[in-house]
Amino acid sequence: MKTQVCIIGGGPAGLLLSQLLHGKDIDNIVLEKHTRDYVLARIRAGVLERGFAKLMHEAGCGDRLDREGEVHEGVSIAHDKGLTRIDLFKGSGGSTVIVYGQTEVTRDLYEAREKMGGVVIHEAADVALHDLKSDAPYVTYVKDGKAERVDCEFVVGADGFHGISRKSIPADVLREYERVYPFGWLGVLSETKPVSHELIYSGNERGFALCSLRSQVLSRYYIQVPLEDKVDDWSDEAFWEELKRRLPPDVGVRMQTGPSIEKSIAPLRSYIAEPMQYGRLFLAGDAAHIFPPTGAKGLNSAASDVHYLYHGLVDHYRKGDDKGLESYSQKALARVWKAQRFSWSMTMMLHRFPAYTPYERKLQKTELEYLISSERAQQAFAENYVGLPY
């Protein structure tokens, strides 16, 4: 097979880029390791920045997001004195976020790809990248036991943190920056009315908690748990009990509980790989960076990568102008580092760190105290939470 751009990974980053490029008549193929059902079964992000929604529209996939996505103008921070609402709209000078699940984003993108006749090859095994430093790179994979080859002009690595693309960059070229946190998030999805119509992030003595939602009949809650904990250690009852204890009492008593329809533990990590380009290979999304979910920046940063890469590729094919591609890594990383800073600071402020000294704990509490008492601090929070411009 021959194509212009071979995209590795059919997650949101790969599918969105594929859809955008196809809209500009740039031929591309997506190679995805898993089945479509497997990809759609992953429960992940819930909060989208405006920039993400704009890209979905540009890709012709924004209608359902407009209809079903909930616009949020604020979030609350719970602390030992109660709740403080941060006005995102006012603080950011008129922006908001949209609550719409990653599962729905991916579903919309798959449907759009199908409608346009886009090529997404599922269950592509043993994907390997070749001749990335040449003008004629190619990708090999195995499908139904048969060896296949895609000749292309560019390769995009959108295959997530555990993918093969980043690993195709020689170790002496790749620089990695990482922080692993000593806890994870236990997440529960339940068909109950959300305890609050806006998100509540809680920095509690017992540990972090988050009340989020997918709709007014579907709640998504998280609590910080030790890394050693297993999902089976947490019955639904134990989860609800602990969640309520980490919220102000008047919020806890309002909590509607019910059976979990999904329950999983995700470890927390901050990670960036530099550069995001190696020859004809460009990395995008989780393949290049991981955010702790505290600031809701993972999927949103995948979208800003896609934006820069999309424009770089369009300029290359339309105008023969390579400036966008040449500056891709530097531009994408500049925004990614700012989002890293924000999600790191929010993670550090709201979680309990077992090894903290009393001094560090005091400082951490002071960080939270400053945020809830300063309008200017809340403005800075709002500007970052809704997403920096790109």
Active site residues per annotation? 72, 201, 293, 297, 385
* Residue number with CB closer to ligand RFL (249 or 302): 302
Residues at the interface with ligand RFL (CB under 6 A):
8-14, 31-34, 39, 44-47, 102, 124, 127, 158-160, 162-164, 185, 187, 266, 285-286, 293, 296-300, 302
Residues at the interface with ligand PHB (CB under 6 A):
45-47, 199, 212, 220, 293-296
Please count the other Cβ atoms lying within 10 Å of the Cβ belonging to residue 55.
23
Q: What is the DSSP string of 165-234?
A: TGGGS-TTT-EEEEEEEEEEEEEEEESS--SSSS-EEEEETTEEEEEEEEETTEEEEEEEEETT--GGG-
Contacted entry of ligand PHB, ligand RFL, none for residue 39, CB cut-off 5 to 8 Å set by kind: ligand RFL
Backbone angles phi, psi at 291, to 5 degrees: -115, 145
Backbone angles phi, psi at 86, to 5 degrees: -100, 120
Contacted entry of ligand RFL, ligand PHB, none for residue 299, CB cut-off 5 to 8 Å set by kind: ligand RFL
Contacted entry of ligand PHB, ligand RFL, none for residue 32, CB cut-off 5 to 8 Å set by kind: ligand RFL
Please count the other Cβ atoms lying within 10 Å of the Cβ belonging to residue 369.
14
CB of 11 to ligand RFL, least distance (A): 2
Report the helix count and the strand count for the chain, using DSSP H and E.
13, 20
CB of 389 to ligand RFL, least distance (A): 16
CB of 216 to ligand PHB, least distance (A): 14
CB of 110 to ligand RFL, least distance (A): 11
Distance (Å, whole) CA 52 – CA 170: 31
* Residue number with CB closer to ligand RFL (101 or 323): 101
CB of 294 to ligand PHB, least distance (A): 6
Contact indicator for 352, 224 with CB cutoff of 8 Å? yes
Handedness of CA 308, 310, 315, 320 (dihedral sign): positive
CA distances from 291 to 144, 200, 252, 258, 272 (A): 35, 19, 28, 30, 9
Cβ burial, residue 40 (10 Å; 0-12/13-18/19+) = middle
Contacted entry of ligand PHB, ligand RFL, none for residue 127, CB cut-off 5 to 8 Å set by kind: ligand RFL
CB of 155 to ligand PHB, least distance (A): 30
Contacted entry of ligand PHB, ligand RFL, none for residue 88, CB cut-off 5 to 8 Å set by kind: none
Contact indicator for 223, 208 with CB cutoff of 8 Å? yes
* Residue number with CB closer to ligand RFL (44 or 280): 44
What 3-state DSSP class applies to 48? strand
